[in-house]
Amino acid sequence: MKIKKGDKVQVMTGAYKGTVGEVLVAFPKENKVIVEGVNIVKKHAKPSQADPEGGIKEKEAKIHVSNLALYDEKAKEAGKVGYKFVEDKDGNQKKVRYFKKSGNEIKEKK
């Protein structure tokens, strides 16, 4: 899965088409992610000790990665992702993600 937690993505299909958001949680085994502000669902919650109010809560639901594309903030557009090897300062090879169209490297967030 080429999309990871912390990446900026753009929704390509569905009701939220065109929306740009950050990946909050990734589920690689399911090929799904939770994106900030996308696929909002209403969840009915009974009152409990942890939440004495209960009621109807809104939260983000999982969305399949095939409906998303990584968003290139420099080029201001979504694009396909590739992998390449680059040498760091010590001469070691490191595998990095990059946008195929613009060639910009995707910075890893920690």
| pLDDT 10s digits, 39-94 | 999 999 999 999 999 999 999 999 999 999 999 888 899 999 999 998 888 888 98
Q: To 5 degrees, how large is the angle CA 12–CA 76–CA 4?
A: 60
Residue 109 has pLDDT above 80, yes or no: no
Dihedrals φ, ψ of 67, to 5°? -95, 5
Domain annotation for the chain: domains and CATH numbers: 8-99 (2.30.30.30)
21-29 average pLDDT score: 96
What are the residues facing 23 on neighbouring strands? Answer: 35
- Distance between the two ends of the chain, CA-based, in angstroms? 18
What pTM, to 2 d.p., does this model score? Answer: 0.82
Region label for 31, one of left (φ > 0), alpha (ψ between -120 and 50) or beta (otherwise):
left
User: Tokens in use for 28?
Assistant: 């690689």
Residues 66, 95: Cα–Cα separation, whole Å: 23
